[in-house]
Structure 1
Amino acid sequence: MITEFIETAGVVAYPLLLAAFLMLFIIFERTIVFILNYRTINKEQYLKAIEDFDESNLGDNILHNQKGIAAKIYYNTLKRNPQSREEFKLYLDAEEVDQLPELEKRLGFLNFIAQVAPTLGLLGTVSGMIKTFQVLGLGGNPEQMALGIS
């Protein structure tokens, strides 16, 4: 079925298949990253870690030993030693902005592929129509043209 599709689609099928493969790979990879980064520990453990935070004991803090963006954000925020709730929120927002690029990796490339793939499909359609009309221009059978268009 795929080989038949490639034969009828022509040269444009190869970049389209490559784009489809790359999109699936990026979606799969980003899904794994999101799953691993959003593994959460118990809410009580987070709250206890925040309450018991001590700058002299950074390595033993549960947030330091947890994997994932959320633990990293809280750990780095607490490391800045906020003195008030407003300062904590300010540091927390700054840390979230710092960690955001880690979550957005390769999404620009995914967007690029999503914009280019329809153009490639249209290019394939236009090149197919050109071939079909060439058959008609060479004195071909109109039935062949109808088959080429459909």
Structure 2
Amino acid sequence: MKLWHILVIALLVRASLYIGLNIFFFGGELEHPDSQLYHEWALVVQQLWIEGHLELIPYPEYSNVVALLYHIFGPNRYGPEGLNILLSLLNVVLGYKIIERYGGSKKVAAVLLAVDPYMAYLSTQYLRDTILLTGTLVLMYGV
């Protein structure tokens, strides 16, 4: 099995979860209180940017990322959730590359990251967990 096969599997898992959970189960509503907080703060930051105040808020810092996505794609949940899905696919590649560098079964590592239910779930939600994992894996790969 090649890495791109594993990435296709990961994408199918995430797309299925995204459609099943966010659209059908949650009815398009933000499920987590943190998601609502990021959304509200991102709207505040985006409005400040529109008014010419290039300010960032110190906490929750993820709201600044969301505000940038809102500025590009408009104030909807699809930008942050799409970014999370793309980053989760990058996490599969980074996990593969890290194990390749240090030894071990890189395909097993990639498959585990691709189909891990909790990480797949988090990658479809409006939360910062995926971006934090990506940052951690980038640091691990770069060292």
How does the TM-score come out when normalised to structure 1? 0.27
How does the TM-score come out when normalised to structure 2? 0.28
- Greater per-residue helix proportion: 1
Structure whose CA Rg is larger: 1
